[in-house]
Amino acid sequence: MTITFDNITMEEAVGTAMGHIAARSRCRVVTPNAEFALEAKKNPRFLNILNTSQLVLADGISVVLASKIIGDRMVGRVTGVGFAQALAAAMAQEGKSLFLLGAKPGVAEKAAQKLQETYPGLKIAGTHDGYFKEEGPVVEAINAAHPDALLVCLGAPKQEYFMETHDAELEVPVMAGLGGSMDVLAGNVQRAPEFFQKYGLEWLYRLVKEPQRWRRMIKLPLYLLDAVAWRIRGGK
Ligand code: UDP
């Protein structure tokens, strides 16, 4: 069993999400990377959440590279941060509202402020940090704010579990699990310079900035190796 990605562009992904907002139908968005793939291999619940999501975006160069090895080329990457920004821009044009959930106290508020400055017309329905003990009151707060879309930035697989567990209760058309994106949207964590982004070397930039991440990053080539093995086995 493997993760099945949507082979779509950023514009198509945002178009799909906006369509769900208009129709008031559920659109769960996930952004699996190499670490997700390794977790999904040993965690059937997690894999099932990913594969039953309406949008499965290829965040991370490892997914694109793996797809090339398999011979099944992806159209391109749709990063979580990029998706959040493009969605905010489209929502701003239609005066839609966004709820920001996750990261340390104060970060979601800062991200909200930055998004509103960048995309005038965007409504912020509410914010909540990602360090809560009980989920019930958080779900209630989200529903009381009536957002059109919800960003869930709790890290994986916590954010995917949150979205699945409260799927029926949450009255929000679009919900997207976006990991560390809130810190980037708030300006607390810088994205790699354009050069690194263009050549798919964000992992290298991040490794230089945060050398302690090597343990997590070692999983990147492991994911690629797994994709090769998958092709040799003839699976698709
Ligand atoms: N986080 C959170 N609640 C938690 C654990 C993590 O809100 O209980 C936040 C954390 O502050 C960070 C994000 O979730 O903003 C996860 O970041 P990480 O870099 O681990 O995720 P990635 O993007 O690598 O999946």
pLDDT in tens, 164-181: 999 999 999 999 999 999
Contact 131 CB / ligand 1 (< 6 Å):
yes
| 3 inside domain | no
Our answer on whether the CB atom of 40 is closer than 6 Å to any ligand 1 atom is no
Within a domain: 4: no
Phi/psi at 100 (nearest 5 deg)?
-110, 120
In a domain, 170, yes or no: yes
Instruction: Please tell me the predicted confidence (pLDDT) of residue 45.
Output: 97
Q: What is the pLDDT of residues 103-152, one digit of tens each?
A: 999 999 999 999 999 999 999 999 999 999 999 999 999 999 999 999 99
User: 54-87: string of b/e by CB count within 10 Å (b at 16+)?
Assistant: bbbbbbbbbbbbbbeebeeebeebbbbbbbbbbb
Pocket test for ligand 1, best of 134, 153, 160 (most atoms within 8 A of CB): 153
Q: What is the mean pLDDT of the chain?
A: 91
Q: Is residue 2 part of a domain?
A: no
For the chain, counts of helices (H) and of strands (E)? 13, 6
Q: Which residue segment(s) compose the domain that 155 sits in?
A: 10-229
Predicted local distance difference test score (pLDDT) of residue 218: 80
Instruction: Please tell me if the CB atom of residue 164 comes closer than 6 angstroms to any atom of ligand 1.
Output: no
Q: Is the CB–ligand 1 distance for residue 32 below 6 Å?
A: no
Q: What is the pLDDT of residue 95?
A: 98
State whether residue 177 is helix, strand or coil. Answer: strand
- Is residue 5 in some structural domain? no
pTM: 0.91
Beta carbons of 77 and 6 less than 8 angstroms apart:
no
The Å distance, Cα 155 to ligand 1 centre, comes to 4
Ligand 1 site, residue 184, Cβ cutoff 6 A? no
20 within some domain: yes
Count: domains in the chain: 1
Assess whether the C-beta atom of 153 lies below 6 angstroms from ligand 1.
Answer: yes
- When pLDDT is cut at 50, 70 and 90, the band that residue 65 belongs to is confident
